[in-house]
């Protein structure tokens, strides 16, 4: 294992000694510096989504974490904290520029306090800044990266959710699935539909599937072809497909592209489709007479 030079410099050597001196200074003037930092945040109109109490709590913990990382040079704890913080503030609508902004403000506030402390000894100030700047920049970097990572994770999660919701496969009765399609069916959605339908057939051991496209105004030629192929593929898996709610326009498209529709079982509306599906599966639905005893 190679020793990490940055860790070393934080622990020992001349700059290590300077850093511990620096940390002691920052701890000593914690209240004043934190106050100054909060004011700068407010002046810059950052974190407006948070209440003053929340801001006080967050700035305190960010400050303490910041100083701790300066002292130990251990970024992992900070990464963990930044991830945690991002999880809390992203749903509140905090933007990337705000997070980066407040960390940079803190960096500047602390740097200013160092100027003030060492203003009479210029070479000392230089050395202190040499020790301080790389560590501070690393912290700013870490926080920004953690925040962006977290945002991207949230976005990915939401994309997955939307993808799943856009083509729901719903079991209605034993061995009967419904696929309601709402909105325009583009080729990407059509592909998902096929995927979800075929795996749904296997998962639910479906024998009959009703695809209802009442909510879909139009399909293009490739999607129509894809739909026909999906019906055929379902048949290969032992399930028969009933398509309901074909709009006049889609009916026209299907006829125009000249696919063999003789094997396509289509029924006017979802109600009719369900009745046909029940017939195929051997269900008989009877309405129970409601006794109205007075």
CB of 51 to other proteins, least distance (A): 51
Taking CB under 8 A as the rule, does residue 249 contact other proteins? Answer: no
Q: Using CA atoms, how far apart are residues 266 and 254, in angstroms rounded to an integer?
A: 12
Evaluate whether 106 touches 62 at the Cβ level (below 8 Å). yes
Q: 107 vs 226, which CB is nearer to other proteins?
A: 226
Distance, first Cα to last Cα, the chain: 88
Q: 44 vs 237, which CB is nearer to other proteins?
A: 237
CB of 40 to other proteins, least distance (A): 58
Report the residue from 198, 223, 242, 243 that binds other proteins according to the rule CB under 8 A.
198
Taking CB under 8 A as the rule, does residue 32 contact other proteins? Answer: no
Taking CB under 8 A as the rule, does residue 205 contact other proteins? Answer: yes
Q: How many residues bind other proteins (CB under 8 A)?
A: 19
Q: Which of residues 272-291 bind other proteins (CB under 8 A)?
A: none
CB of 206 to other proteins, least distance (A): 8
Taking CB under 8 A as the rule, does residue 38 contact other proteins? Answer: no
Taking CB under 8 A as the rule, does residue 253 contact other proteins? Answer: no
Taking CB under 8 A as the rule, does residue 1 contact other proteins? Answer: no
CB of 153 to other proteins, least distance (A): 29
Taking CB under 8 A as the rule, does residue 195 contact other proteins? Answer: yes
Q: Which of residues 228-247 bind other proteins (CB under 8 A)?
A: 229-230, 232-239
Q: Using CA atoms, how far apart are residues 271 and 281, in angstroms rounded to an integer?
A: 15
Evaluate whether 92 touches 49 at the Cβ level (below 8 Å). yes
Q: Which residues bind to other proteins, rule: CB under 8 A?
A: 194-195, 198-199, 201-202, 205-207, 229-230, 232-239
């Amino acid at each position: 294992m190679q020793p990490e030079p940055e860790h070393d410099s934080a622990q020992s050597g001349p700059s290590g000694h300077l850093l511990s001196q620096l940390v002691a200074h920052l701890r000593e003037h914690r209240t004043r510096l934190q106050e100054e930092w909060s004011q700068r945040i407010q002046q810059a109109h950052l974190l407006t989504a948070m209440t003053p109490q929340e801001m006080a709590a967050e700035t305190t913990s960010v400050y303490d974490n910041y100083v701790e990382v300066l002292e130990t040079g251990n970024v992992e704890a900070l990464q963990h904290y930044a991830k945690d913080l991002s999880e809390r503030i992203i749903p509140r609508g905090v933007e990337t520029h705000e997070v980066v902004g407040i960390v940079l403000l803190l960096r500047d506030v602390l740097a200013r306090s160092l100027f003030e402390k060492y203003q009479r000894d210029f070479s000392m100030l230089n050395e202190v800044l040499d020790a301080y700047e790389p560590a501070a920049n690393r912290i700013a970097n870490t926080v920004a990266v953690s925040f962006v990572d977290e945002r991207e994770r949230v976005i990915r999660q939401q994309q997955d959710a939307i993808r799943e919701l856009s083509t729901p496969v719903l079991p209605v009765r034993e061995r009967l699935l419904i696929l309601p399609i709402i909105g325009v069916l583009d080729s990407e959605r059509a592909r998902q539909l096929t995927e979800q339908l075929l795996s749904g057939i296997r998962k639910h051991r479906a024998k009959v599937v009703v695809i209802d496209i009442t909510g879909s105004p139009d399909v293009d030629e490739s999607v129509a072809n894809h739909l026909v192929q999906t019906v055929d593929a379902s048949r290969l898996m032992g399930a028969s497909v009933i398509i309901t709610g074909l709009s006049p326009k889609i009916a026209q498209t299907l006829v125009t592209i000249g696919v063999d529709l003789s094997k396509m079982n289509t029924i006017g509306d979802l109600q009719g489709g369900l009745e046909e599906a029940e017939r195929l599966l051997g269900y008989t639905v009877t309405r129970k007479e409601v006794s109205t005893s007075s």
